[in-house]
Amino acid sequence: MNKLLRLCAFADEAADSLTDQLDALRENGIALLELRGANGENVAALTVDEASEMRKQLADAGVAVWSLGSPFGKSPLAAPFPEAREQLLRLIDIAHALEAQQIRVFSFYPDKDQNPDDCLPEAADRLAQACELARAADIRLCHENEKGIVGDIARRCAALYRNVPDLLGVFDPANFIQSGEDAGKAWDELKPHIHYLHIKDALPTGQVVPAGQGAGDVARIVSEYRALPHASGVMTVEPHLTVLSPEALELHNKTPGAAPAYASRRLAFSAAVQALRLLI
């Protein structure tokens, strides 16, 4: 049976201040936030007191934090792990203060001279330790397939999920395209592990476009995702669309075959949300 789909968003793409982010969410009828940054601070830099104050503001606006769009794991494997571990412990405290149950994570950068396949055991070990800490705090860690990290392609993502059973998946079609993968084939391989989606589409060149306008097979992915019994039903809109000055935008719009571009972050954000709604 198809489940109810719930829209979420990285509202920091619409505005910097939390107040303006909440306005953008309200304008687009979205009640879930994946908090990556607000008021000039990355979510990992917040204090627990700041996070608690934000939670009050969010509650007044009728918005809940679905997940922390954290930078955990977006660091070199060569860096000592204790620093990343301490960052995760702070993020867990922040998640509790915001009443979020998920933290988005990554699987670390290999050294330039390393084969990412050879890095899988160490990345899996670090993520297993991280999941153990999170599980003790009743928090779920969700891995995103980011370009350039150990888990950037489907085969390595699958290996991580096999070796770290507590690690859940966040599927980003555009990131697979930008990593040289077929997003549809990646979905077929990874969908048993996917907890939620990041909605970002891209052309074969890697340029990000609204959902359904690229090579990400987003329509099929969304259709199949809503039927997965284990999935959350949450889809986080991550626009990453091109914003240009008025002069550059006018020139851009006269270029044959140019990908969509927008006059402001707020317009780009709304366009990304509308594209997903139309696709659904």
With a CB cutoff of 8 Å and minimum separation 6, the contacts of 76 are: 108, 109, 110, 111
Q: At what angle do helices 183-190 and 218-225 cross, to 10 degrees?
A: 20
Domain count across the chain: 1
Region for 205 from its dihedrals, namely left if φ exceeds 0, alpha if ψ lies in -120 to 50, beta otherwise: alpha
Question: Which tokens belong to 97?
Answer: 């203060």
Evaluated on CA atoms 266, 271, 273, 274, the torsion sign reads positive
In sequence order, which residues have a C-beta less than 8 Å from that of residue 166 and are 6 or more positions away? Answer: 128, 131, 132, 134, 135, 140, 141
Dihedral (C-alpha) 12, 13, 15, 16: value to the nearest 10 degrees? 50
Domain span holding position 191: 6-240
Q: How many CB atoms lie within 10 A of CB 232?
A: 22
Report the alpha-carbon distance of residue 167 to residue 180 in Å, rounded.
24
Query: Which 8-state DSSP code applies to residue 172?
Result: -
The predicted pLDDT at position 253 comes to 87
Give a yes or no: residue 121 inside a domain: yes
Q: Is residue 25 domain-resident?
A: yes
In-domain check, residue 230: yes
Distance CA 170, CA 70 (A): 13
Residue-level pLDDT at 1: 58
pLDDT per residue, tens digit, the chain (280 aa), is 577 999 999 999 999 999 999 999 999 999 999 999 999 999 999 999 999 999 999 999 999 999 999 999 999 999 999 999 999 999 999 999 999 999 999 999 999 899 999 999 999 999 999 999 999 999 999 999 999 999 999 999 999 999 999 999 999 999 999 999 999 999 999 999 999 999 999 999 999 999 999 999 999 999 999 999 999 999 999 999 999 999 999 999 889 888 899 999 999 999 999 999 999 9
Asked if 169 and 195 count as a contact pair (C-beta separation under 8 A), the reply is yes
- Rounded to the nearest 10 degrees, the angle between the axes of helix 218-225 and helix 265-279 is 60
Please report, for the domain that includes residue 85, its CATH number. Answer: 3.20.20.150
271 inside domain = no
| Residue whose pair of structure tokens reads 């719930």 in the numeric block | 6
Q: Which amino acid is at 32?
A: L
In a domain, 77, yes or no: yes
User: Could you tell me the two tokens for 220?
Assistant: 């099929």
Q: Where does residue 199 fall: left (phi above 0), alpha (psi -120 to 50 degrees), or beta otherwise?
A: beta
Domain-embedded: residue 65 = yes
In a domain, 94, yes or no: yes
